[in-house]
């Protein structure tokens, strides 16, 4: 990577902690990731693994009580330490976000078309009323909403959950941002609607120059869409690589557990069998275990080693790294 051609987004050694009554909560520890132009990168892990905190740091939306170290560079420019007015110029224009709860994200007393128009007008006041309306209809059509001309005049409660999520995506790409952060965009939607939302994101990737950072707890969501996958556990990055090695040459026991817990139509099981479940639960951010943070739940943990040594990322393939002390032993 040359200095003249930096990644679109580069996060390096990002650590985030919050002071609480119980002490310091370490939400994220030394996480690094990158998103190249035109890429879809998946950020995956259980709820509480720190994924959304990373996205909030990128957008500058962390509370003032957060203690942040490391680096977040967008198009080569450092974002950490920038003023609120400087970040406001980026949000929605260069970097946009799609939240998971569409019903609370949309204003219930404003028509959908008016809310989309407002998102555009905040960053571009040169458009005429007619041009603005045409752009709104174009965006609704792009995200797969039928009869966009008529539906622009409806209120959010007149849309289904999947259609509201499409509206949020349309708002996210309204100003053609370089980076779209989609935070659990398919949560609480049924399987059919989830597939439709993923098709919308794929359409955006193919038709625009927008890169996507897709945050999810479901590796299955990333299978046909992502170029790279970053796996987080308890605030730490445990595996990172192109999507194919992550799925077919998985290196970290936690990633294997996530994959094993996915229902698959090609697995023949009887009615009494259950999906695999990773034993135990995420550690308390106030008292993370010593050594490998995953060792209390890991089936391959080795006493007096995994509970003492903190693993560093090891190269296991072309562009594929994993943080495990026993990668070579467990194969």
Return the CATH class of domain 95-176: alpha beta
pLDDT category at 9 given cuts 50, 70, 90 is very high
Please report, for the chain, the start and end positions of each structural domain, with discontinuous segments joined by +: 9-94+177-330, 95-176
Does 9-94+177-330 match 95-176 in CATH topology?
Answer: yes
pTM: 0.90
Whether residue 273 has pLDDT greater than 80:
no
The Cα–Cα gap between 156 and 45 comes to: 30
Burial of residue 226 (CB within 10 Å: 0-12, 13-18, 19+) is: buried
CATH topology of domain 9-94+177-330: Rossmann fold (3.40.50)
Q: Which of 58, 26, 19 is nearest to 235 (CA)?
A: 26
Residues 56-101 have pLDDT tens digits of 999 999 998 899 999 999 999 999 999 999 998 899 899 999 987 7
Place of tokens 């977040």: 72
């Amino acid at each position: 990577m040359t200095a003249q051609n930096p990644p679109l987004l580069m996060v390096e050694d990002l650590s985030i902690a919050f002071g609480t009554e119980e002490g310091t909560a370490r939400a994220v520890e030394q996480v690094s990731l990158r998103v190249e132009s035109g890429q879809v990168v998946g950020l995956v892990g259980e709820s509480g693994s720190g994924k959304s905190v990373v996205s909030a740091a990128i957008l500058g939306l962390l509370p003032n009580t957060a203690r942040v170290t490391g680096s977040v560079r967008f198009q080569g420019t450092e974002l950490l330490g920038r003023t609120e007015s400087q970040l406001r110029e980026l949000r929605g224009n260069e970097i946009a976000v799609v939240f998971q709860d569409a019903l609370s994200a949309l204003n219930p007393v404003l028509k959908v078309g008016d809310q989309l128009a407002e998102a555009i007008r905040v960053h571009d006041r040169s458009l005429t009323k007619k041009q603005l309306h045409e752009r709104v209809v174009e965006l609704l059509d792009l995200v797969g909403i039928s009869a966009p001309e008529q539906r622009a005049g409806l209120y959010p409660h007149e849309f289904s959950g999947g259609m509201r999520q499409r509206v949020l995506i349309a708002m996210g790409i309204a100003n053609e941002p370089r980076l779209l952060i989609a935070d659990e965009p398919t949560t609480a939607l049924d399987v059919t609607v989830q597939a439709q939302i993923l098709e919308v994101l794929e359409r955006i990737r193919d038709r625009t120059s927008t890169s996507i950072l897709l945050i999810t707890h479901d590796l299955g969501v990333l299978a046909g869409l992502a170029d790279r996958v970053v796996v987080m556990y308890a605030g730490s990055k445990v595996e990172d690589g192109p999507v194919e090695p992550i799925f077919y040459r998985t290196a970290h026991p936690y990633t294997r557990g996530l994959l094993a817990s996915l229902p698959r139509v090609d697995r023949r099981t009887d009615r009494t069998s259950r999906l695999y479940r990773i034993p135990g639960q995420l550690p308390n951010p106030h008292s993370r275990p010593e050594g490998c943070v995953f060792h209390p739940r890991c089936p391959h943990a080795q006493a007096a080693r995994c509970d003492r040594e903190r693993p560093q990322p090891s190269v296991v393939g072309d562009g594929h790294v994993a943080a495990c002390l026993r990668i070579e032993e467990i194969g």
